[in-house]
Homo-oligomer: A and B are copies of this chain.
Amino acid sequence: MIPGSGELTHTDRGLLYGEGVFETVHVRPAGPWLLDAHLARLARSAAALGIDVPSGLAELVSGITHTDGALRLVVTPSTSFATVDAVPETIRAERRDGIRLITHDVGLTRRPPWSLAGAKTLSYAENLAAKRWAVAQGADDLLWLDSHGQALEGPTASLVWLDGDTLCTVAPDRTGILPGTTAAHLLARSAEVGLRAEERMITAAELPGVDAIWLASSLRGLAEARTLDGQERAASPWTPRLLDLLGFSPS
């Protein structure tokens, strides 16, 4: 726990109702990676719940360094705190070796008007239950589809794919999914490696035909789908190049 962090109480709404917001930030020798983007999303998530983010949070954590660390920022209506840990070996392995990815309909037609799907809240039990279900099916992670078979996001990650010379991700504005910080940063820098970038929709039926598929998230960076719904896929030469672009060193 970071010094200066808040006290916990048994009546905190973050604990009692999952009413709070969080961010997970990769920590490097140079400090927390993409901290401003994560703090901006934290503020947007908090606004969706009507919660204030304490002003001192950035100063509290901006000096933290780690060889390969995970910074977690938590804000609830009554407290805020940060924790730092080493990135777990399971996540480092997903960067290196890729993942077995399966797809499944999330069962949603359209988001109701009160939906918090675009906010990163502490009410994360369903996300983690979805990942556990994927593991029980013999996979590592899950890609949610809408009722038309269009790809949305993973329970804890964004979808990124390569189609020819274009790096693509799903449009958060059109779908109500959580805007991915890592995915947005990657697409913004695609020209540095000679690729275009575009927000698109893609169906599960079209996905096997693309050149590479990744789940993008703060700690993994990119985890390449080496199987999709049980079908093996060759490792893309772009995976190490893009991880390098994102500043993830080989491990």
Contacts and interface: CB of A to CB of B under 8 A. Distances in A.
Nearest to A111: B107
Contacts of A130: 112, 114
A147 interface: yes
A107 B115 contact: yes
A107 B112 contact: yes
Contacts of A76: 15
Contacts of A14: 15
Q: Give the number of times this chain occurs in the complex, counting copies.
A: 2
Contacts of A124: 16-19, 123
A108 B105 contact: no
Interface in A105-133: 105-116, 121-130, 132-133
A94 to B, nearest CB: 19
Given A8-B9, A125-B17, A125-B123, A104 B109 contact: no
Interface residues of A, number: 48
Interface string A68-93: 00001010100001010000000000
A245 interface: no
Q: Which of A11, A83, A113, A132 has the most CB of B within 10 A?
A: A113
A10 B81 contact: yes
Contact of A72 (B16, B20, B104, B111): B16
Given A10-B81, A16-B22, 14 more contacts: A10-B83, A14-B15, A15-B76, A16-B72, A17-B18, A17-B128, A107-B108, A107-B111, A114-B129, A114-B130, A114-B133, A116-B125, A116-B129, A122-B125
